[in-house]
Amino acid sequence: MQRKTFLRAMIASAALAAMPLATWAQDTIKIGEINHYKRLAAFAGPYKQGIELALEETNAAGGVLGKPLEFIFRDDQGEPGEAVKIAEELMTRDGAVMLTGTILSNVGLAISSFAGEKGYVYLASEPLADSLVWGAGNKYTFRLRSSTFMQAAMLAEAAAKTDAKRFATIAPNYAYGKDAVAAFKENLLKLKPDAEFVAEQWPALFKIDAGAEVQALERAKPDAIYNVTFGPDLAKFVRDGTDRGLFEGRDVYGLLSGEPEYLDPLGDEAPEGWTVTGFPWYDLSDGPAGEFVAAYQARYDDYPRLGSIVGYMTVQSIVAALEKAGSTETEAIREAFEGLQVASAMGGIEFRAIDNQSTMGAYVGTTALQDGKGVMINWEYKDGANYLPTDEEVLKLRPAE
């Protein structure tokens, strides 16, 4: 009796899965997009809008290879295993020609491993993990966004220019946080060999005990603090740190802290004088970036976040690759991505043939308060190409192909 129910459920779901879904749209080129739309909606939403804006523009201009470009968006629920299943579905049932997306590094790594094994092209748009193109890299996986290492190197460069000797770090206790601290240390010590790391704090991700962390940092009496916390952790850290005077007279470097995604929720309590990587859209009026910001604001009646421009550039990169490939065959797309030059919203970038990492850069500047809101001032766009390890080192990091 019960076994029957089990089988029925099993067959029913199998039958449903076997049904073709999107047969009506045969004549488009489909890209499978997997992201964490639900639990990280604040990040995935603007990203998706960026993609849709670029898609509209592309298709209005005649599409790619004579066909409209279409994205199929799927939610990974933050589960790597789930994402792998969806990736399979997108490629084999929905007729996607390649995969892109993800914000969570672990999901990106799972899809990357899967793509490498099955021979699907995967453009990791947002995940930051260094290992994605290095330790766990494979020839089918490309990454758009400037990685943890690159952004940490930019901040290390800024930190090396000051007199600060005693550094303290605070980073969420997981791979991204650890990578970010390690990269900062590595780059800083290269530029400033006498720098000292006097405290390393590792709050659990999104469970920071801000008061205790601030006390512990204060106790180490550092000259400068390197912050990797973000989201609600950052809000609590900034609030407690400001109250307790932790930031007074100290240089603070904040990885990603200048991105509107993280800076805006802080409102008028946004920290002032931090050196951060971020996205100063409010100052962008010229060049491709300016055009993007204007188009985005016209289209959505909202301002772009960093995710928006990453989404936009994802489409730009895929379009460029497809055009260069002249085909939607996997191998052709993969070869097209190698060394691909893209005239993107952040200017010219290249997907390096050596490690499949794009040279997308980041904006580095100082935080300030304007009209009760945190902004970046004195910012500068840093080209990612200048913040990557030497080719020799990269080759050592990447597994042999």
Partner 1 sequence: MEFFVAQLLTGLANASSLFLVACGLSLIFGVTRIVNFAHGSLYMLGAYIGYTLMQNLPGAVGFWGSILLAGIAVGIIGVLVEVLVLRPVYRAPELFQLVATFGVILVIQDLTLIIWGPEDLLGPRAPGLRGVYRIMGEPIPKYDIVLLVITPFIALALWYLITQTRVGVLVRAATQDREMVGALGVNQAVLFTGVFALGSALAGLGGALQLPKGGADLLMDFHILAPVFVVVVIGGMGSLPGAYLAAVIISVLNVFGVTYLPQSTLVLMFVVMVVVLMIRPYGLFGREEVAGEHGQVGEPELPIKPASNSVRMIVMAGLALLALLPVFGSSFAMVLTTDILIFCLFAASLHFLLGLGGLVSFGHAAYYGGGAYIAALLVTHANSPMEIAFLLAPLGAGLAALAIGWVCLRLTGVYFAMLTLAFAQLLWSLVFQWGSVTGGDDGLVNIWPSDWLNSTTAYFYFALLFSVGGILVLRHVAHSPFGYALRAARDSKRQAESTGINTQKVQLLAFGFAGFMGGLAGTLFVFSKGSVFPNELEIARSFDALIVVFLGGVKTLAGGVAGAAFFKGVEDLLTRFEYWRLVMGLLIIFVVIVAPQGIVGSIRKAAIRLNILKQGGQT
Interacting residues with partner 1 between 38 and 57 (CB under 8 A)? 38-42, 45
CB of 261 to partner 1, least distance (A): 9
Cβ distance to partner 1 smaller for residue 78 or 347: 78
Cβ atoms < 10 Å from Cβ of 75:
17
Q: Which stretch binds partner 1 (CB under 8 A): 49-57, 242-250, 346-354, 369-377?
A: 242-250
Q: Which of residues 1-40 bind partner 1 (CB under 8 A)?
A: 1-7, 9-14, 16-18, 38-40
- Is residue 397 a contact point for partner 1 (CB under 8 A)? no
- Alpha carbon dihedral 143, 233, 248, 378, in 10-degree steps, equals 30
Q: What single-letter DSSP state applies at residue 64?
A: B
Closest CA to 356 of 102, 145, 84, 96: 145
Q: How many residues bind partner 1 (CB under 8 A)?
A: 83
Of 76-84, 148-156, 324-332, 367-375, the window that binds partner 1 (rule: CB under 8 A) is 76-84
Question: Could you say which of 195, 235, 313, 388 contacts partner 1 (CB under 8 A)?
Answer: 235
Residue among 42 and 385 whose Cβ is closer to partner 1:
42
Give the Cα separation of 364 and 382 in Å (integer): 7
Q: Provide, rounded to whole angstroms, the least separation between the CB of residue 118 and partner 1.
A: 9
Q: 88 vs 338, which CB is nearer to partner 1?
A: 88
In contact, 126 and 102? CB cutoff 8 Å:
yes
> Residue 326 CB, nearest distance to partner 1 (Å)?
27
Within 10 angstroms of residue 287's Cβ, the number of other Cβ atoms is: 12
Q: Which is nearer to partner 1, 267 or 287 (CB)?
A: 267
Pairwise CA distance, residues 107 & 82, whole Å: 9
* One-letter identity of residue 392: E
Task: For Cα atoms 345, 350, 354, give the angle at the middle one, nearest 5 degrees.
Answer: 155
- Distances in Å between the Cα of 98 and the Cα atoms of 1, 119, 142, 217, 319 are 44, 10, 11, 46, 12
Cβ-based nearer residue to partner 1, 190 or 207: 207
In angstroms, what is the minimal distance from the CB of 24 to partner 1? 16
For the segment 325-364, give every residue that binds partner 1 (CB under 8 A). none
Q: Which of 217/364 has CB closer to partner 1? A: 217
Q: Report H helices in 192-329.
A: 210-219, 232-243, 260-263, 287-300, 306-325
Query: Could you give the string, one character per residue 136-175, with x where binding to partner 1 holds by CB under 8 A and - elsewhere?
Result: x-x----------------------------------xxx
Which residues 243-272 are close enough to bind partner 1 by CB under 8 A? 243-245, 264-267, 269
Query: Toward partner 1, which CB reaches closer, 116 or 347?
Result: 116
The residue from 59, 67, 211, 369 that contacts partner 1 (CB under 8 A) is 211
Check: CB of residue 263 under 8 Å from CB of residue 278: yes
Q: If binding is defined by CB under 8 A, does position 202 make contact with partner 1?
A: yes
Instruction: List the alpha helices (DSSP H) in 161-223.
Output: 175-191, 210-219
Q: Which residues contact 150 (CB under 8 A, 6 or more apart)?
A: 361, 362, 384, 387, 388
Output 12 or 353, the one with its CB closest to partner 1: 12
CA distance 378 to 363: 10
How far is Cα of residue 243 from the mean position of the Cα atoms in its chain?
31
Told to check if 84 binds partner 1 by CB under 8 A, we report yes
CB closer to partner 1 out of 86 and 276: 86
Q: Find residue 365's DSSP bridge partners.
A: 276
Q: Which one-letter amino acid corresponds to residue 141?
A: T
Residue of 161, 190, 219, 396 that binds partner 1 (CB under 8 A)? 219
Q: Which is nearer to partner 1, 106 or 366 (CB)?
A: 106
Among 28, 113, 314, 316, binds partner 1 (CB under 8 A): 113
Shortest CB 220 distance to partner 1, Å: 10
Which runs of consecutive H residues, i.e. helices, occur in 34-122?
A: 41-60, 80-92, 105-118
* Binders in 268-287 for partner 1, by CB under 8 A: 269
Position among 98, 210, 306, 315 found at the interface with partner 1 (CB under 8 A): 210
